[in-house]
Amino acid sequence: MNNPHFISDEELHAYIDGALEADRAQLVRQALAQNPALAERVALFQADKAMFKTVYAPLAERALPPEWEARIRQKPQARWRRAYAIAAVFLLVAVSPLAWRAIAPTPNLDVVEAALEAREASNQGSIAIGDGGNAARYDPALRLAVASNVRIPDLSRMGYRLRGLNLYGKAAEILYRGPQDQLFTLYVRRSDGTARFDQFERRGLRVCIWQDDQISTVMAGNISAAAMQRLATLSYTGLTS
């Protein structure tokens, strides 16, 4: 670490989780007291953590998938170690978004590629929506396309305005424009039932896949990882609330 006073997002998450070494934790506390922007960032991370716990904690009560149990049985000598490691996945998901990204399975490339191809096909929604458009009037069309009880999220808190809606056979793409007119898209379709969350770069874009047992959501935009984390939280909760 070149600058001992620089505080990374990883350290902020560790601080929130109580896993930061005492001297670094003290440095973070001092920085939070002196830097309102950093304090707001920690507050957002804490809100995200609480939301993740609400969304994913129920998964801890489910039985392990059969394919996971089969992997445990493949090597008897590592059976208990792997069993505990797999069980810990659910606890990590409920506790820390950063930890979940570290152990998440490989993203569903099919839904991610479908989302990016839809994004590249057209930047203009088949249903164009101008300023002052009532997003709620398009919720029934979204629900019909996705076959799920969802609604179009309001991202105006982060300066993103709804601009269009593309409807496909069993999916939909919601288009937004940001403060600098940057395009941000949500691609939504029915889930295969697997819970997933991951954030990565693909085709020069920041991409986030957020999937529960009902819907798959792929978010894409030319934005930072921190901005994506906030937009992903706002998008997912807006879709499902």
The answer on 111 and 182 residing in a single domain is yes
> Mean pLDDT for the chain?
78
Asked if residue 15 and residue 95 are part of one domain, the reply reads: yes
55: domain range?
1-101
Residues 178, 227 within the same domain: yes
109 and 174 fall within a common domain:
yes
- Looking at 67, 101, 135, the residue that finishes a domain is 101
**Of 126 and 203, which is predicted with more confidence?**
203
Regarding whether 190 and 77 lie in a shared domain, the answer is: no
3-state secondary structure the chain: CCCCCCCCHHHHHHHHCCCCCHHHHHHHHHHHHHCHHHHHHHHHHHHHHHHHHHHHHHHHHCCCCHHHHHHHHHCHHHHHHHHHHHHHHHHHHHHCHHHHHHHCCCCCHHHHHHHHHHHHHCCCCCEECCCCCCHHHHHHHHHHHHCCCCCCCCCHHHCCEEEEEEECCCEEEEEEECCCCCEEEEEEEECCCCCEEEEEEECCEEEEEEECCCEEEEEEECCCHHHHHHHHHHHHHHHHC
Phi, psi of 167 (to 5 degrees): -110, 135
In terms of domains, do 30 and 145 share one?
Answer: no
Segment 61-69 shows an average pLDDT of 62
189 and 115 share one domain: yes
What's residue 95's pLDDT? 45
Same-domain check for residues 90 and 110: no
Per-residue pLDDT reduced to its tens digit, 180-212: 999 999 999 999 888 888 899 998 999 999 998
Residue that the structure tokens 């902020």 belong to: 12
Which range has the worst mean pLDDT, 38-47, 50-59, 133-142, 178-187?
50-59
Q: Examine the pLDDT at 1 and tell me if it is beyond 50.
A: no
Q: What is the pLDDT of residue 58?
A: 54
Counting the structural domains of the chain, the total is 2
Q: Which of 81-90, 117-126, 176-185 has the highest mean pLDDT?
A: 176-185
Shared domain check, 232 and 144: yes
User: Comparing 58-62, 139-143, 149-153, 214-218, which segment has the lowest mean pLDDT?
Assistant: 58-62
Residues 138 and 192 in one domain: yes
Both 113 and 221 in a single domain?
Answer: yes
**Would you state the pLDDT for residue 178?**
93
Residue 92's pLDDT is 45
Q: What average pLDDT score do residues 165-176 get?
A: 91
Q: Which residue has the higher pLDDT, 113 or 2?
A: 113
* Domain shared by 225 and 143, yes or no: yes
